[in-house]
Structure 1
């Protein structure tokens, strides 16, 4: 972590104020240490990023991995962009990894390089500790990066990241509307529900098309603002 990347770090601090209150209770519900919220920062900077390899969302799921952990991924719906559902899926992965390794540092390493890759390293080197493993440079510094981000974000003033509380992004105040029917035109649906298409897509980035076929009549939860003065 480079403390001179001030502009990016300030943005991350602002985003964390909005999204950590969403992520933290999900981690707690699944018995995952709260420090894993910093893993999401390492992965995506708390944005719906897409990597060159195709890893997507706050938790950077590949398509096949996301599906294997219960996320819907198709041309109209991609729940890797759904912060709550992607966090739930990440917790399932982290739980599986902890059941296998019994050690949270190894769990974090596996998130970066995959369980198969980590298993190979552990077997070959005949050790059972992350700190004793010879790893590629990215995974070798991965846990240290998480710890460094925690240190900086927990003591931001000490590292020169002085920010007024009023500048932090506030959590969205939202409610849910259940939708079980096809939606031919999401822009029209938005207008019918007293918002606009931009707001709908901002709060529901997992909606990847202009419509929702929903031939199975699955119930989706559309997130909309409580207040019409949404910004």
Structure 2
């Protein structure tokens, strides 16, 4: 082996040794850096605001009927729905903001028809105060099926669906609730049966030899249903306790309306709205029960259409 080869080998060994030392130093520096960062991140993670825990009310009623809060599973089920809804901030805020548009009128109709005021929370549980459609085809604030809506006096046709008429649907709901109360004798059972149907709820009562909702073993949806209603009542009646501090200007309100009685066919609702100093969007927003772009008025019938003032 000549000297040139020896020099080359020595040079490679020195280079490899240098690279090895460089990597060891780099690894040591990285380890030191990591060990100082982790405690910092951990400290930051623990510096946030604590999650609020809520105490259940000492007593609670629905429609004047006592909720048995001393029963362990009742407390747990109510607890669950309060936390689910209180911490679903976006939904609860929008419910509260929307409530001033519709609850005053719902409260008035319930009171005039001798239905307990707490049933307004049933409407919230059913539809979130929106004209929604369920997968089964129930529609409107009170989620009437087609046949049930017609049974309680709502017009449902090609042009008109009064399940979307908040006032008329609320009036129909009061008739339904009164009839259910005649059957069950207590308002809690009336509310629960609104979810699973009067026949289904009555069958569960007979099968389980108990009339009390809180003593019945029910499907998941109906088992939670009353407690969702109760949770809305608890939060709406004590909003600041659950972190909701809305001011008057935060709420939504309906505009003032002019009401126009219609006794003849309207061939084009957009043109008709323009003739009354409004537009098609406003007509549809405030009269969602009008389904088509025209309105056929049967002999002897009339409709009241409302449009924003000004």
TM-score class, shorter-chain normalisation, is over 0.9
SS of the equivalent of 1:26 reads: helix
SS of the equivalent of 2:307 reads: strand
Give TM-score scaled by structure 1 length: 0.95
Match of 1:185 among 230, 251, 268: 268
Work out the CA distance in 1 between the residues paired with 2:258 and 2:205: 46
Structure 1 segments unaligned to the other structure (5+ residues): none
Q: Which residue of 1 aligns with 2:235?
A: 152
SS of the equivalent of 2:104 reads: helix
Structure 2 segments unaligned to the other structure (5+ residues): 1-80
Work out the CA distance in 1 between the residues paired with 2:103 and 2:238: 16
Work out the CA distance in 2 between the residues paired with 1:145 and 1:5: 13
Is it true that 1:201 corresponds to 2:284 in the alignment? yes
User: Which structure would you say has the larger Rg?
Assistant: 2
Greater relative contact order, per chain length (Cα 8 Å cut-off, separation 6+): 1
The Cα offsets for residues 121-142 of structure 1, whole Å up to 9 and x where unpaired, read as: 1111121111111111111121
Contact 1:181 1:217 in 2 (8 A): no
Is it true that 1:220 corresponds to 2:270 in the alignment? no
Structure 1 residue ranges, 4+ long, deviating more than 4 angstroms after superposition: none
Q: Note the aligned Cα RMSD (angstroms).
A: 1.0
Work out the CA distance in 1 between the residues paired with 2:258 and 2:220: 43
The Cα offsets for residues 54-93 of structure 1, whole Å up to 9 and x where unpaired, read as: 1110111111111111101112100000000000011110
Work out the CA distance in 2 between the residues paired with 1:186 and 1:106: 43
Work out the CA distance in 2 between the residues paired with 1:24 and 1:162: 22
Q: Which residue of 1 aligns with 2:168?
A: 85
Match of 1:142 among 205, 209, 225: 225
The Cα offsets for residues 109-132 of structure 1, whole Å up to 9 and x where unpaired, read as: 110011111111111112111111
Is it true that 1:169 corresponds to 2:255 in the alignment? no
Work out the CA distance in 2 between the residues paired with 1:126 and 1:216: 52
Q: Which residue of 2 aligns with 1:47?
A: 130
Match of 1:26 among 97, 109, 112: 109
Q: Which residue of 2 aligns with 1:127?
A: 210
Work out the CA distance in 2 between the residues paired with 1:52 and 1:184: 32
Work out the CA distance in 1 between the residues paired with 2:125 and 2:293: 31
Q: Which residue of 1 aligns with 2:177?
A: 94
Work out the CA distance in 2 between the residues paired with 1:136 and 1:87: 27
Contact 1:179 1:219 in 2 (8 A): yes
Contact 1:82 1:205 in 2 (8 A): yes
SS of the equivalent of 2:93 reads: helix
Tell me the number of residue pairs that the alignment of Structure 1 and Structure 2 aligns. 227
Work out the CA distance in 1 between the residues paired with 2:186 and 2:239: 28
The structure carrying a bigger helix percent of its residues is 2
Q: Which residue of 2 aligns with 1:105?
A: 188
Q: Which residue of 1 aligns with 2:9?
A: none
Where in structure 2 are the equivalents of 1:64-83 lying within 5 Å?
64-83=147-166
- Alpha-carbon deviation of 1:174? 1.5
